[in-house]
């Protein structure tokens, strides 16, 4: 008598680029033990879709329509703390890897390495292990052992402050940032003031220049 075929483990995709979702779905659905059970392009659809599909793992992008992946990770982790989350992002890992792990994700990989390593990362995270590059793993280990690690000025910023700082560096004005993050202009101005204090910059012009320089530097790492 043949043994029953093991059930496939279900993967839920959250990414605002249809072609990225299509590519990942083709890659994952070819595997004998994995299948895509749902997709979403923003946080609201992701939360409802995950609740309905009950996946074994979620792949989440950092940059989403009308929201930010970090907030989604925190919300999913609060509702379903046992659900493994793998973050797939275009952003350099030095910017977000530690933050997404603190938010509740188990893995972080850039889109540049996705085609090569996404299946390895998926299975590792499904097994409850952390997936990160050797560089990030070493940094986390150093911080755990010594309580210290190499840091940048932006490490002092909260997740929301970093989002505002990043959008400033992309040339967005307060009104545009408020619309993108779904917060008030007054809140944006409050975040700007806090960022200036933490980064020790004197005025809005200096803040903008520093944000532009930082975004350019991160984009070329």
The pLDDT score that the predictor gives to residue 112 is 77
Mention every residue, 6+ apart, whose C-beta is less than 8 A from residue 50. Answer: 12, 38, 40, 58, 76, 80, 83
Are 51 and 94 members of one domain?
yes
Task: Give strand pairing partners of 63.
Answer: 68
204 vs 212: CA distance, rounded Å: 12
User: In total, how many domains does the chain have?
Assistant: 2
Q: Which residues form the domain of 35?
A: 9-146
1: in domain: no
3: in domain: no
SS3 assignment, position 125: helix
Picking from 67-76, 111-120, 201-210, which range would have the lowest pLDDT averaged per residue?
111-120
- Comparison of pLDDT for 11 and 165, the residue scoring more: 11
The pLDDT score that the predictor gives to residue 28 is 94
27 vs 118: CA distance, rounded Å: 9
Half-sphere CA count of 219, side-chain side, radius 13 A? 9
pLDDT band at 92 (very low <50, low <70, confident <90, very high): low
What's the whole-number mean pLDDT along residues 73-101? 85
**What is the per-residue pLDDT across 142-182, written as a single tens digit (0 to 9) for each?**
666 665 554 567 878 888 888 898 889 888 889 998 888 88
Picking from 102-111, 153-162, 212-221, which range would have the lowest pLDDT averaged per residue?
212-221
pTM of the model: 0.73
Are 138 and 203 members of one domain?
no
Residues in the chain: 221
For residue 122, give both structure tokens. Answer: 């998926």
Are 90 and 27 members of one domain?
yes
- Comparison of pLDDT for 81 and 116, the residue scoring more: 81
124: in domain: yes
4: in domain: no
Residue where a domain terminates, one of 146, 177, 200: 146
What's the whole-number mean pLDDT along residues 49-59? 96
Are 142 and 157 members of one domain?
no
2: in domain: no
């Amino acid at each position: 008598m043949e043994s029953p075929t093991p059930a496939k483990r279900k993967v839920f995709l959250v990414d605002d680029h249809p072609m990225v979702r299509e590519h990942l779905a083709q890659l994952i659905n070819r595997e004998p033990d994995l299948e895509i059970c749902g997709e979403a392009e923003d946080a609201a659809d992701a939360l409802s879709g995950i609740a309905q599909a009950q996946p074994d793992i979620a792949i989440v992008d950092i940059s989403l329509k009308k929201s930010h992946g970090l907030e989604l990770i925190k919300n999913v982790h609060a509702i379903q703390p046992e659900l493994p989350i793998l973050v797939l992002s275009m952003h350099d890992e030095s910017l977000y890897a530690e933050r997404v792990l603190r938010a509740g994700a188990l893995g972080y990989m850039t889109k540049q390495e996705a085609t090569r390593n996404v299946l390895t990362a998926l299975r590792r995270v499904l097994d409850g292990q952390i997936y990160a590059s050797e560089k990030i793993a070493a940094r986390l280990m150093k911080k755990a052992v010594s309580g210290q690690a190499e840091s940048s000025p932006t490490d002092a910023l909260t997740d929301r402050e970093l989002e505002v700082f990043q959008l400033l560096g992309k040339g967005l004005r307060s009104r545009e940032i408020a619309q993108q993050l779904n917060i008030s202009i007054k809140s944006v101005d409050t975040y700007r003031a806090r960022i200036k204090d933490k980064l020790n910059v004197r005025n809005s012009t200096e803040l903008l220049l520093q944000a532009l320089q930082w975004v350019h530097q991160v984009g070329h790492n």
